[in-house]
């Protein structure tokens, strides 16, 4: 196992989803094991502060890759989107969905997700 990745976990509800930390850790560990990537305990966002300081730090440090339990817990915060616009080479691994995105692929996915949410909200408005 030569490859390593930083892992990230969020302990509060985000985007309507809250996955307990032990479950996030287990998903990440098992998924990375199947990829033959060395697991390290996740960097956990535990503060109530806005802006996701732990994730921002991981992105700015420009890691080879960052692993998440699910893309559902990836923040849609503007400060995170702004960092994603900076040229980075980090790969984003989303274990539950079996997805590995480049920076541009993640931006495109998030933009499409936001657009679908807007359409859905407009369609099902009372």
Structure pTM? 0.84
Cβ(45)–Cβ(22) below 8 Å: no
Q: What was the pLDDT predicted at 2?
A: 55
pLDDT tens for the chain, residues 1 to 126: 458 889 999 888 877 788 999 999 999 999 999 999 989 899 998 876 677 888 888 888 877 899 999 998 888 777 788 888 887 788 999 999 999 999 899 989 988 887 777 777 777 665
The pLDDT, as a whole number, for residue 1 is 43
Task: Enumerate domains of the chain plus CATH numbers.
Answer: 3-123 (3.40.50.1390)
CB 83 within 8 A of CB 56: yes
Quick count: other Cβ atoms within 10 Å of Cβ 86? 10
Question: What's the angle, vertex CA 62, arms to CA 92 and CA 21, rounded to 5?
Answer: 50
pLDDT of residue 67: 95
75-84 burial: b if 16+ Cβ within 10 Å, else e: beeeebeebb
pLDDT of 49 reads 64
């Amino acid at each position: 196992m030569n490859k390593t990745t930083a892992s990230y976990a969020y302990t509060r509800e985000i985007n309507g989803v809250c996955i307990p930390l032990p479950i996030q850790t287990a998903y990440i560990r098992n998924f990375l094991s199947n990829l033959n990537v060395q697991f390290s305990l996740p960097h956990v966002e535990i503060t109530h502060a806005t802006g996701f300081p732990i994730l921002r730090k991981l992105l700015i440090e420009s890691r080879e890759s960052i692993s998440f339990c699910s893309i559902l817990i990836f923040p849609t915060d503007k400060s995170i989107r702004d960092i994603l616009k900076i040229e980075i080479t980090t790969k984003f691994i989303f274990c539950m969905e079996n997805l590995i995105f480049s920076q541009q692929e993640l931006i495109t996915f998030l933009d499409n997700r936001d657009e679908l949410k807007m359409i859905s909200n407009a369609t099902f408005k009372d």
